[in-house]
């Protein structure tokens, strides 16, 4: 999966109900849609889930303009020009390395 495909679909972003709940209840502070768009603008793919259904998805790391790191699980649907935001959260230092790209060993 290429990040260019995700960028082509950003304007057609759709949030799942799960993503909206996660945005509203994020323990490290509520996440608003504009922050997600900012993070998508500067993001990078850190994990890919090619076998996800109904669409392959990926985990992105992006930062808001204020520097807040966000993880966004999304699925680009190129033929429909939309990006499905499956979930979004601010990575927790207890579970992620300081680069926010690697999980800490358990």
Q: What is the pLDDT along the chain (106 residues), one digit of tens a residue?
A: 788 889 889 888 999 999 999 999 999 999 999 999 999 998 999 999 999 999 999 999 999 999 999 999 999 999 999 999 999 999 998 898 889 988 888 8
Torsion of CA 30, 18, 46, 33, to 10 degrees: -40
Instruction: DSSP letter for 100, please.
Output: S
pTM of the entire structure?
0.92
**Edge-to-edge strand order for the sheet containing 82-89?**
13-15, 82-89, 69-77, 57-63, 44-49
Task: Give pLDDT, residue 64.
Answer: 96
Q: Would you say residue 101 lies in a domain? A: no
Tell me if 8 is assigned to some domain: yes
Domain range enclosing 26: 3-89
- pLDDT for 103: 86
Rounded CA separation 94/73 (Å): 20
Backbone angles phi, psi at 6, to 5 degrees: -65, -45
- Does 106 map to a domain? no
Overall domain count for the chain: 1
Q: What's the CATH number where 42 sits?
A: 3.30.2310
For the chain, the C-alpha Rg in angstroms (whole number) is: 13
Q: Residue 46 has what pLDDT? A: 95
């Amino acid at each position: 999966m290429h990040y260019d495909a995700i960028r082509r679909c950003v304007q057609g972003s759709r949030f799942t109900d799960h993503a909206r709940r996660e945005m509203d209840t994020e323990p490290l502070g509520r996440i608003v849609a504009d922050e997600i768009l900012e993070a998508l603008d500067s993001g990078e793919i850190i994990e890919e889930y090619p076998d996800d259904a109904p669409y392959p998805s990926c985990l992105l790391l992006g930062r808001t303009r204020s520097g807040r790191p966000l993880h966004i699980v999304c699925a680009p649907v190129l033929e429909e020009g939309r990006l499905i935001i499956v979930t979004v959260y601010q990575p927790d230092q207890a579970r992620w390395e300081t680069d926010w790209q690697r999980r800490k060993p358990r």
